[in-house]
Amino acid sequence: MADASPPSEPVEVRLRDLRLGSGPVEIVARVLRAERREITRSSDGGRRSLLSGLLSDGTATVRFTWWDPPREGVERGDVLRAVAPEVREFRGRTELSFGWKTRVGPASEAELPVVRPEEIPSRGLKDLTDPMEGFRVVARVVRVAERSVTVGDERRVVYDGLLADGGATVGFSAWVDFRLRSGEAVEIVGAYVREFRGTPQLVLDERASVRRVEGTDLPTPATVLDAPPVAIAQLEDTGGAASASVQGVVVGLLPPSGLVYRCPRCRRSVQDGTCREHGPVTGIPDLRARLVLDDGTGALTVNADRATTERLWGTTLEQVLSGLRDRPDPAAWESSLLEAVFGRRLRVRGSATRDDFGVTLQPDTVEPAEVDLDASADRLSARLGDGRR
Amino acid sequence: MTGRETAWRVFARELEASLEPERGTGERATSYVLSPFGARMNRVLLAGTLSTAEPVGRDETPSFWRARLTDPTGAVAVTAGTFQPRAMEQLRAGSGSRTVLVVGKVNLYHGRDGTAYVSVRAESLRDVTETEERAHYTEALEQTLDRVDLVDRLARGEAAAPREVGFVPPPWVVAAAESLRRYPSADRLQFRRDLRPVLGRIVGVASSALVPPAPPSVQVRRDPAPSPSTAPTAAERAEESLLLEFLDQVAEASLDAYADRRELLARVGAQGLGTDRAEAVLTRLEDEGVVEEPVVGKLRRA
Ligand SMILES: [Zn+2]
């Protein structure tokens, strides 16, 4: 590049050691996120392209800005070597800027710094936020299940589950088989945090490593899964949870509930024979119920799948389909579903998320809830007093 | 946050004592009825014995029905009109008294003489077993006492949620503070006594052994008096609230948070509000700036 005589030879540093005004440096890091933009100069209206995003080398995650980047070929996951980037600070956090003085080129995985686990700060699950990288957690595997997904043309197996420590429960997604078993205590290094439906989730890919530990002070899966129900108002307040149990009464149904048709490719609901994503398709019939569960402190939506809907309704998809000849009106079926579920007292456990319309619960279990009448009567009698007060 | 309105667990006695209307913020916002005991109700869940429904008015084809729901503490009117065909059908089903669970919207009406009447417009209703009724009373009594305790704490100037109480729903705290402000002389001790017959029902005393008191109507002075001249008729208001309710539901179910106009019309049509009527109501709501259509066929609250 143009600058023939740098003041001194750049020193290779790790991202967590970047300091403002410490002389020329050199870094190797992976692109976690990258977004391309065009900026119009106000002076002459000329256009300049800009790539910005996040870099990580396992020790820290920093924001970067790259002026006039190559037209293509910088993707999430790429490892880059940058010589003489400009170190800046914005709102107390270190940033990198790649300008005309910076030499940026591809690097290999092996060039990434080797980080020993002891060097990595330990984090509690409740402290995880998106984006975060370069930490280790010690947690109990509460639950793990295998799921097959299609990424482009490739079929991959993902291991989804729940992790818990003394402070929180978070969901995880492992793209590599770490042979995780529910009940075991593990130390995870090299995972990163991503927001999924509004709550932080731990993602484990090839860079992560898992080690079994004693974990005697960690909660057991049973304590997490059998946790007593929380007030729905509490979920409305905190904004969701990876694993939450609530108990309430079904007071209504939200559309679409009952018989729906789904796109054969993406499973989205099909409206008038058209998928939002894939155009005209022949929908596959399915049952679902969007139950409004209310506990007197708040209300949330429970998205019940076909199996749960059939169980609560006492009617199968086959029965609905064969009954369509006699009763073609979908509203009549929705009424019948509402009659079957209205007023039912349910205990539901699953992952809760919140958006502008309130809290939605994606259930793992839906069970009828019982009220212990005798115990409650004793308690209430004590609260009401004996009538002399 | 624009979550769904909670169905407050209350007894008839608390509804009878509720005289204060309250509008949420914003134009044509949700309306509430405030009780003296810490409930700020748009929607309630009730259980009790329902009388045979009777038509309201002298029309040949009545469009509005009313029944009386009695619980161990009092009684309240439950209504349903042609705009809620499903609820109306359920309200009219069967004759003689039966035990039901009702979810519905609370309505407060002040007569010309200043008398306040609370009624509940049923959204859904069904017959329940005695065990289900007892379970409901258990929950409703527990929550009612929790709310009265909360109002008591605030009245004594104590913390809303001391450590030994644990989590207290933030909407309850708001409601309790407002109850205290609007009903400074409410008799909470008497209210606790009024709740005592519920206990008998929870432990399983036959309902016929408990004769509920006759529902009192309550005299209140209102200052200033509400002006009925410009207010829409009850029927128009019912149409508007039905339409807005479905608008919210359809919008909520859609990915882009807009309610599709055709879908909305189909849905309210299924509820008995014909397309012409619905279009007229929509036009009125759009004229008044309550609803807007920024994209053709896509509606949302303004
Ligand atoms: Zn599709």
Reported residue count of chain A is 389
**Pairing outcome for strands B74-81 and B31-34:** unpaired
**How far, in Å, CA of B18 to CA of B219, rounded?**
12
- Asked if A175 and A127 touch (Cβ cutoff 8 Å), the reply is no
| A118 vs A101: CA distance, rounded Å | 35
Contact A380 B138 (CB under 8 A): yes
In angstroms, the first-to-last Cα distance of chain B is: 16
Give the distance (Å) from ligand 1 centre to CA of residue B211.
Answer: 60
Same domain, B82 and B186: no
Would you state the structure tokens that stand for residue B154, as one six-digit string? 């605030």
Query: Does B257 share its domain with B151?
Result: yes
> Among B69, B102, B128, where does a domain finish?
B128
Do residues B67 and B152 both lie within one domain?
A: no
- Do B191 and B293 fall within a single domain? yes
Q: Judge whether B129 is closer than 8 Å to chain A, CB to CB.
A: no
| B166 in Cβ contact with B36 (< 8 Å) | no
Q: Does one domain contain both B205 and B270?
A: yes
Angle (deg, nearest 10), helices B130-155 and B170-182: 60
Domain boundary among B73, B100, B128: B128
pLDDT digits (tens, 9 = 90+) for A221-242: 998 888 889 999 999 988 888 8
Of the candidates B69, B65, B67, B63, which has an alpha carbon nearest to the alpha carbon of residue B44?
Answer: B69
User: Which class in CATH covers the domain with range A227-373?
Assistant: mainly beta
Residue B254 confidence (pLDDT): 64
**Mind listing the pLDDT tens digit for each residue in A254-264?**
988 999 999 99
Does A294 contact chain B (CB < 8 Å)? yes
A·B CB contacts under 8 A: 131
Instruction: Give the C-alpha separation, B268 to B250, whole Å.
Output: 11
Which whole number is the average pLDDT over A73-98? 87
CATH of the domain at B115: 2.40.50.140
CA A262–ligand 1 middle distance (angstroms): 8
**Residues 322-361 (A) with a CB less than 8 A from some CB of B:** 331, 335, 338-339, 342-343, 345, 354, 356-359
Same domain? For B124 and B51 the reply is: yes
Do B277 and B153 lie in one domain? The reply is yes
Length of chain B: 302
Q: Which residues of chain B fall short of a pLDDT of 70?
A: 1-3, 25-28, 111-112, 205-234, 252-257, 289, 294-296
Enter the tokens of residue B58: 């002298």
- Average pLDDT rounded to a whole number, residues A145-154: 80
Residues A277 and A169: their CA atoms lie apart, in Å, by 34
B262 and chain A: CB distance < 8 Å anywhere? Answer: no
Of the candidates A292, A343, A358, the beta carbon closest to that of B128 is on A343
**Counting Cβ atoms within 10 Å, is residue A326 exposed (0-12), middle (13-18) or buried (19+)?**
exposed
Ranked by mean pLDDT, the top range of A41-50, A281-290, B58-67 is: A281-290
Same structural domain, B50 and B193: no
Residue A247 pairs with which residues in a beta bridge?
A347
Question: Which residues of B are less than 8 Å from A354 in CB distance?
Answer: 1
Q: Indicate whether B1 belongs to any domain.
A: no
Angle at A384 between CA A378 and CA A386, to 5 degrees: 85
Average the pLDDT over A328-356 and give the result. Answer: 91
Range of the domain at B18: 7-128
Residues of chain A with CATH 2.40.50.140: 11-111, 117-223, 227-373
Distance A282 CA to ligand 1 centre (A): 10
Selecting from B1, B7, B134 the residue whose C-beta is nearest the C-beta of A251 gives: B7
> Phi and psi of A187, rounded to 5°?
-110, 125
Report how far apart, in Å, the C-alpha atoms of B214 and of each of A191, B48, B68, B72, B219 are.
66, 15, 11, 11, 16
Residues B104 and B144 in one domain: no
d(CA A342, CA B100): 12
Residue type, B160: A
For domain A11-111, the CATH class is: mainly beta
Q: Which CATH class is domain A117-223?
A: mainly beta
In a domain, B2, yes or no: no
Are B160 and B176 contacting, i.e. CB atoms less than 8 angstroms apart?
yes
Q: Which phi and psi (to 5°) does residue A254 adopt?
A: -110, 145
Distance CA B138, CA B141 (A): 5
Name the domain count of chain B.
2
The pLDDT value recorded for residue A252 is 94
Q: Phi and psi for B228 in degrees, rounded to 5?
A: -80, -10
